[in-house]
Amino acid sequence: MWDILIQIFPYAVAYTIPLLITALGGLFSERSGVVNIGLEGLMVIGYFCTAITIMQLQPELGSSAVPIGLLMGFIGGAVFSLLHAFASINLNANQVISGTAINMMAGAITVYLARTITGSGNILIRSGLTRRTIPVLSEIPVIGRLFFTQTYATTWLVLAILLISWFFLYRTAFGLRLRACGEHPAAAAAAGVNVYFMRYIGVMVSGAFAGLGGGTIMVTYSGEFSGSVAGLGFLALASLIFGQWKPFGVLGATFFFGFAITIANVSQVIPEFAVIPPVILRIFPYVVTLLALVIFSKSSQAPKAVGEPYYPGQG
């Protein structure tokens, strides 16, 4: 069993990382008071921007095209999220509808652009990132084998962003103000916080992180842009709720999903798992989520003002 765990652990982590960074982005947005149901679409945008950048630059730049591609995914997501920010912050539109619009637009516009630019709806790149084993750290008993073998560079990048985000949200004045805008914007405004600005930051961070998540999919396990991230954005949203809007809660929730889905995927290949019907393994994470949501519904930690437009001067 230990051998199997060591074997599939890197794949579970690789599956988890795009989910984690996207859910973390959602956390910034919702903590600032804006529901972001458009994470799925923002991931697709990042996926596309990364793919097209790498495809165009790789013949000349080789492997250094990959970080540039990720950066473009990051920027692309942030820029596209401005639409959501403008509609839901300036125009006080219904945030769920604006997010849904993002999702519908992203899928159509990226496939249209891909066909215009490359002649095909799919964008194929020669190579993305390769898994590496970290020399010294991988020698540590137990955790060395689990955490430091077969890792992608993006995994460490995302974990670093997670730590920085936690510090930023809970240990800086800026983080406190951002969270205040999601709890009681009028009080925050009375204390001199620019609620609009804070919410813009929250939404743009969520766009950038979701874009990075899409880009990570491209350079790690996919290698070809296909116009959809197959519901991972919604899974990230579920992880955000399951993780109770806290950075490390989100880490736990996304890892739970990543691990459970990986087991379901590889179960048919591994005789030890093959005794359990694949359909049971497949529905397991979703059943657990439903149960958890029912159990935690009374003590939900959702930001108080999430989803509510803010009007200057409201009491």
Partner 1 sequence: MKRMVSVLVLLIFAAACVFGAGQREADPDTLRVGMVTDAGTIDDKSFNQGTWEGIRQAQQDLGVQTRYLRPSGETEADYVAEIVNLYDAGYRFVVTPGFKFETAIYIIQQRYDDLKVVLLDGEPRSQDYESHVGPNTVAIYYAEHESGFLAGLATALQLKSGAVGFIGGMEIPPVQKFNWGFQQGVDYANSNHGTNVTVSANNVIYQGSFTDVPAGQQIAATMYDRGVKAIFAAAGGVGIGAINEAKSRAASGEEVWIVGVDVDQYEEGVYADGKSIILTSAMKEIGNSAYAMIEAELNGEFPGGSILTFDATNDGIGIPAENPNLSADVERVVFEVLEKMKTGEVAVQDSSAGLIP
Residue corresponding to tokens 């997670």: 162
8 vs 210 by CB, closer to partner 1: 8
94 vs 265 by CB, closer to partner 1: 265
Give the whole-angstrom CA distance, residue 139 versus residue 122.
Answer: 41
142 vs 269 by CB, closer to partner 1: 269
What percent helix, strand, coil does the chain show, rounded to 5? 75, 0, 25
Shortest distance, CB of residue 221 to partner 1, whole angstroms?
4
242 vs 257 by CB, closer to partner 1: 257
Q: For residues 36 and 234, is the Cβ–Cβ distance under 8 A?
A: no
Two tokens, residue 138: 């991988």
Shortest distance, CB of residue 48 to partner 1, whole angstroms?
15
Shortest distance, CB of residue 156 to partner 1, whole angstroms?
17
Shortest distance, CB of residue 261 to partner 1, whole angstroms?
8
Two tokens, residue 11: 């794949």
**Of residues 232, 243, 208, the one with CA closest to residue 14:** 232
User: Left if phi > 0, otherwise alpha if psi is -120 to 50, otherwise beta: which for 305?
Assistant: alpha
Shortest distance, CB of residue 29 to partner 1, whole angstroms?
23
169 vs 263 by CB, closer to partner 1: 263
116 vs 299 by CB, closer to partner 1: 116
Can you give the binding site for partner 1, defined by CB under 8 A?
7-8, 11, 15, 62-63, 104-105, 107-109, 112, 115, 119-121, 124, 126-131, 217, 221-224, 226, 228, 230, 261-262, 265-266, 268-271, 274, 278
Residues 6+ apart with CB under 8 A from 304: 182, 183, 184
Phi, psi of 60 (to 5 degrees): -95, -40
Q: How far is CA 90 from the centre of its chain?
A: 25
Shortest distance, CB of residue 224 to partner 1, whole angstroms?
5
